[in-house]
Amino acid sequence: MIEAVIFDWAGTTVDYGCFAPVKAFMEAFAHYGVPVTMEETRKPMGMLKRDHIRTMLHMERIAAEWKRVHGHEATEEDVDAVYAQFEPKLFSILDQYADPKPFAVETAAKLREMGLKIGSTTGYTDAMMNIVVPKAAQQGYAPDCWVSPDGAEGKGRPYPYMIFANMQKLGVTSVRNVVKVGDTISDVKEGVNAGVWTVGVVEGSSELGLSQEEFEALTPQEREAACRKVEESFREAGAQFVIRNLSQLPELICALGN
Residues in the chain: 258
78 is catalytic: no
Host H or E run for residue 193: helix 185-194
> What is residue 170's predicted lDDT score, i.e. its pLDDT?
98
Query: What is the SS3 assignment for 200?
Result: strand
Phi then psi dihedrals of residue 182, to 5 deg: -150, 175
8 is catalytic: yes
Pairwise CA distance, residues 114 & 2, whole Å: 10
**Contact criterion met (CB below 8 Å) for 135 and 98:** yes
> What is residue 188's predicted lDDT score, i.e. its pLDDT?
98
Pairwise CA distance, residues 136 & 20, whole Å: 14
Pairwise CA distance, residues 36 & 237, whole Å: 24
Pairwise CA distance, residues 175 & 194, whole Å: 7
Q: How many helices (H) and strands (E) does the chain have?
A: 12, 5
Query: What is the SS3 assignment for 34?
Result: coil
* Fold (topology level) of 20-95: DNA polymerase; domain 1 (1.10.150)
* Fold (topology level) of 4-18+98-255: Rossmann fold (3.40.50)
Q: Taking the domains of the chain in order of start, what are their residue ranges?
A: 4-18+98-255, 20-95
Q: Which of 15, 23, 49, 144 is catalytic?
A: 49
Q: Could you report the average pLDDT of every consecutive run of 10 residues in the chain (258 residues)?
A: 97 96 96 97 93 97 98 97 97 95 98 98 96 98 98 96 98 98 97 98 97 96 98 98 98 89
Instruction: Verify cis geometry, omega within 30 degrees of 0, for the bond prior to 102.
Output: no
Q: What's the N-to-C CA distance of the chain in angstroms?
A: 5
* Beta pairing class for 197-201 and 4-7: unpaired
Q: Give 193-211 pLDDT, tens digit per residue.
A: 999 999 999 999 999 999 9
> What is residue 126's predicted lDDT score, i.e. its pLDDT?
97
In angstroms, what is the C-alpha Rg of the chain?
A: 18
> What is residue 135's predicted lDDT score, i.e. its pLDDT?
97
Query: What is the SS3 assignment for 171?
Result: coil
What stretches of 108-258 adopt beta strand conformation (E)? Answer: 117-120, 178-182, 197-201, 241-243
pTM: 0.93
